[in-house]
């Protein structure tokens, strides 16, 4: 089997509702897609969701990397030998993780379609569905409560609250949420690098009664010792997100004991191939893992879900980045029922030709 045709295109998408995190407000995104056709008649798809703040890329740089590296490398290659192609991409396209993730996805999609099986079954098939959190950006307390009530009425049982801009306001929002929602809704908090260690410890101390499940990336991504200080000082599990962009990052965090958990994002790591390596390090360190996302098409969300379903120590999913996208060409690649994500059960990533 050989890839005989391959093409790439960009799709700008607006969000139904803009959201704010500690360092920016987002109202739109651009994803880049790739389609590859084999000489056996199979068609696979992949997606890049570049983000200057997180991956260091733009849609334009992804398209450039596609033209100069990905297309020449994949055209004529056998997707069943995907490890060789991905290793070459990791070397030649270093520093472009979402572009690599896009190529990684199309290869995995073709493998699943060649086997006639959903990808999660090929990767391990540990489970067949997974609840996801849904995110509430930085809003005032009343707006946060209104948004939370709406999500709970839609069936979600896990809420991730963004903060990090003002610890006092964050404490108030979390405390009020717990009072309003009761004990049955899980609350996770993401400071998006906005806190000092002292602020993070204050947040945990003053929200103890609210029973926050996870504290995600409280301190700046490159200040790893600060992350370690928080992790060693608080009772709530501390999750590294922006601080984990490679297997080397995961190894350093694990060997130095600088976090309790890791957030594995395919776009930030460079696809499923690299995610498996990062997760293996997390597993060896006794870390639980979450598969997260950015503003990604349902196609990319499907890849994250298939990976999460196949790995025993991936106990958490934050795969909601597709829900607010307008005109996502791959809407329907995953199925959401009462806050639980299910794969489409079609071969590969489960996506057909885009709408």
Domain ranges in the chain?
A: 3-115, 121-343
Active site residue 109: no
Please pick, among 113, 160, 162, 268, the residue that the annotation labels catalytic: 162
Would you state the pLDDT for residue 355? 67
Would you state the pLDDT for residue 64? 98
Active site residue 113: no
Please pick, among 57, 170, 190, 320, the residue that the annotation labels catalytic: 190
| The pair of three-digit structure tokens given for residue 349, joined into one six-digit string | 């990533």
Would you state the pLDDT for residue 22? 74
Q: pLDDT 10s digit of each residue in the chain, 355 long?
A: 999 999 999 999 999 988 888 777 889 999 999 999 999 999 999 999 999 999 999 999 999 999 999 999 999 999 999 999 999 999 999 999 999 999 999 999 999 999 999 999 999 999 999 999 999 999 999 999 999 999 999 999 999 999 999 999 999 999 999 999 999 999 999 999 999 999 999 999 999 999 999 999 999 999 999 999 999 999 999 999 999 999 999 999 999 999 999 999 999 999 999 999 999 999 999 999 999 999 999 999 999 999 999 999 999 999 999 999 999 999 999 999 999 999 999 999 999 888 6
Active site residue 39: no
From its phi and psi, is residue 345 left (phi > 0), alpha (psi between -120 and 50) or beta? left
Cβ–Cβ under 8 Å, residues 108 and 347: no
Would you state the pLDDT for residue 18? 83
Would you state the pLDDT for residue 21? 86
Residues, the chain: 355
| The pair of three-digit structure tokens given for residue 164, joined into one six-digit string | 């990090």
Give the bridge partners for 183, in sequence order: none
CATH of 3-115, one of 3.40.50.970, 3.30.420.40, 2.40.50.140, 3.30.390.10: 3.30.390.10
Would you state the pLDDT for residue 352? 84
- By the 10 Å C-beta count (0-12 exposed, 13-18 middle, 19+ buried), 67 is classed as exposed
CA distance 320 to 326: 14
CA distance 148 to 320: 14
Would you state the pLDDT for residue 190? 98
Please pick, among 57, 104, 241, 249, the residue that the annotation labels catalytic: 241
- Cα dist from 166 to 181, 194, 196, 214, 232, whole Å: 22, 8, 11, 18, 23
Active site residue 176: no
Active site residue 168: no
Please pick, among 265, 268, 296, 324, the residue that the annotation labels catalytic: 265
CATH code: domain 121-343 is 3.20.20.120
Q: How far is residue 286 CA from its own chain's centroid?
A: 21
| The pair of three-digit structure tokens given for residue 336, joined into one six-digit string | 């959401």
- By the 10 Å C-beta count (0-12 exposed, 13-18 middle, 19+ buried), 220 is classed as middle
CA distance 324 to 141: 21
pTM over 0.85: yes
User: In terms of Cα–Cα distance, which of 88, 45, 46 is closest to 267?
Assistant: 46
Cβ–Cβ under 8 Å, residues 53 and 14: no
């Amino acid at each position: 089997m050989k890839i005989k045709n391959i093409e790439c295109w960009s799709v700008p998408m607006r969000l139904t509702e803009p959201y704010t995190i500690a360092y920016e407000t987002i109202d739109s995104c651009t994803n880049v897609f790739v389609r590859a056709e084999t000489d056996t008649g199979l068609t696979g798809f992949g997606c890049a969701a570049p983000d200057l703040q997180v991956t260091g890329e733009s849609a334009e740089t992804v398209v450039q990397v596609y033209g100069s590296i990905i297309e020449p490398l994949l055209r004529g290659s056998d997707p069943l030998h995907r490890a060789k192609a991905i290793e070459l991409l990791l070397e030649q396209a270093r520093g472009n993780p979402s572009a690599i993730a896009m190529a990684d996805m199309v290869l995995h999609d073709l493998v699943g379609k060649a086997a006639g099986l959903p990808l999660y079954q090929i990767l391990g098939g540990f489970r067949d569905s997974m609840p996801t959190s849904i995110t509430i950006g930085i809003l005032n307390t009343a707006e946060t409560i209104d948004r939370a009530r709406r999500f709970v009425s839609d069936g979600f049982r896990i809420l991730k609250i963004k903060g990090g801009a003002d610890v006092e306001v964050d404490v108030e929002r979390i405390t009020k949420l717990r009072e309003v929602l009761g004990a049955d809704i899980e609350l996770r908090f993401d400071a998006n690098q906005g806190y000092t260690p002292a602020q993070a410890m204050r947040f945990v101390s003053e929200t103890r009664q609210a029973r926050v499940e996870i504290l995600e990336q409280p301190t700046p991504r490159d200040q790893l010792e600060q992350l370690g200080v928080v992790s060693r000082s608080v009772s709530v599990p501390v999750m590294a997100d922006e601080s984990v962009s490679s297997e080397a990052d995961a190894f350093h965090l694990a060997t130095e004991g600088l976090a309790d958990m890791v957030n594995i994002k395919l776009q930030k790591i460079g696809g499923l191939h690299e995610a498996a390596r990062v997760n293996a390090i997390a597993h060896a360190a006794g870390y639980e893992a979450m598969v997260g996302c950015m503003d990604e098409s349902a196609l990319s969300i499907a890849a994250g879900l298939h990976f999460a379903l196949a790995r025993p120590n991936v106990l958490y999913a934050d795969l909601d980045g597709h829900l607010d996208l307008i005109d996502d060409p791959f809407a329907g690649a995953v199925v959401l029922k009462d806050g639980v994500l299910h794969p489409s059960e079609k071969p590969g990533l489960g996506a057909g030709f885009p709408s």
